[in-house]
Structure 1
Amino acid sequence: MSEGGALAAVAAGGAVGSLGRWGLASLASGAVWGTLLVNLSGAFAMGLLVTWLARRVPHPLARPFLAVGLLGGWTTYSGVALDAHGLVGDGLLGLLGYLVTTLGVGVGAALLGLVIGDRLWHSNAVADEIVAEGEL
């Protein structure tokens, strides 16, 4: 796989993911819950993707397009930081609730995606190796 091909796959996936996130944020009227929804759904989708890719010999551009580009563009840490800053004025309890939900439920969503993916695609240890090696 050429570096240019991988770069184009990441860019194309990132454009699609970012446009989807922008569309959802528009529907959510800028509420912080739009950011939470994209991050939780992205974590879940990443778990599914890892197990799906582990059972196949994917096209060499699948991981750059789907994991780095699409899901990287769909999810956003910078959005979490901005939303958290906006919640500071609403009190500590709301801010902490949002951050704990984002981080805690986000990790849970990724694990749920891995478990469901394992069951759907009868995965094996390869998915765990992909995660451990940081290939996504």
Structure 2
Amino acid sequence: MTEGVPAGRDMAASKGSTLAAVAAGGAVGSLGRWGVGLLATGAVWPTLLVNVTGALTMGLLVAWLAAGERHPLVRPAVSVGLLGGWTTFSSFALDAHGLAGDGLGGLLGYLALTLGLGLGAALLGLVVGDRLWDGSASADETVTEEEL
């Protein structure tokens, strides 16, 4: 408890700061995703691009967070806010539904490509991040944090 401040007040300020960090990150990520949709052509390519780059970034972020102490607002701002706004499961599901009408081959290809590239990008981010930041801490501990 801070001197002269009631116990509940410190927690509320912390939650307010976290809320603001998530909101700011979400605004940036959502605007970025919208911009990619304007620039990229094709029905499913913008969604594939943001989801794969988001997975790569999440892998890098987890490795970076595991490598040392970071400001407590970095994790919620970037993982929940920025990457939550950047990536999109709802558009992925809608794109898959649209492709289902064109035949099973296109749908299965899109699903496999998205899952394969997304998982591969996340693992690549973890490996590259671990080498970049010489992570001695376990990324598994970072992944289990509730904000991710």
Q: Under TM normalisation by the shorter chain, which class is it? A: over 0.9
Q: Which has the higher helix share?
A: 1
Q: Confirm whether residue 103 of structure 1 aligns to residue 115 of structure 2.
A: yes
The separation in 1 between residues aligned to 2:86 and 2:128, in whole angstroms, is 21
The one-letter amino acid paired with 2:115 is L
CA shift digits 1:18-58 (9 cap, x unpaired) = 00000001111452011001000000000001111111211
Aligned to 2:10: none
The separation in 2 between residues aligned to 1:126 and 1:133, in whole angstroms, is 12
Aligned-residue RMSD, C-alpha: 1.4
Aligned to 2:77: 65
Aligned to 1:91: 103
The one-letter amino acid paired with 1:99 is L
Stretches of structure 2 that go unaligned for 5 or more consecutive residues are 1-12
The separation in 1 between residues aligned to 2:128 and 2:113, in whole angstroms, is 21
Aligned to 1:45: 57
The separation in 2 between residues aligned to 1:82 and 1:111, in whole angstroms, is 26
The one-letter amino acid paired with 1:78 is S
Stretches of structure 1 that go unaligned for 5 or more consecutive residues are none
Pairs aligned (count): 136
TM-score (ref. length: structure 1): 0.94
Aligned to 1:123: 135
Moved more, 84-93 or 106-115: 84-93
TM-score (ref. length: structure 2): 0.86
The separation in 2 between residues aligned to 1:123 and 1:104, in whole angstroms, is 25
Deviation of 1:130 after TM superposition, in Å, equals 1.1
Moved runs in structure 1, 4+ residues, more than 2 A?
132-135
The separation in 2 between residues aligned to 1:65 and 1:39, in whole angstroms, is 18
Deviation of 1:124 after TM superposition, in Å, equals 2.2
The separation in 1 between residues aligned to 2:36 and 2:102, in whole angstroms, is 23
Q: Confirm whether residue 16 of structure 1 aligns to residue 16 of structure 2.
A: no
Q: Considering only CA atoms, is the larger Rg found in Structure 1 or Structure 2? A: 2
Identity of aligned residues (%): 71
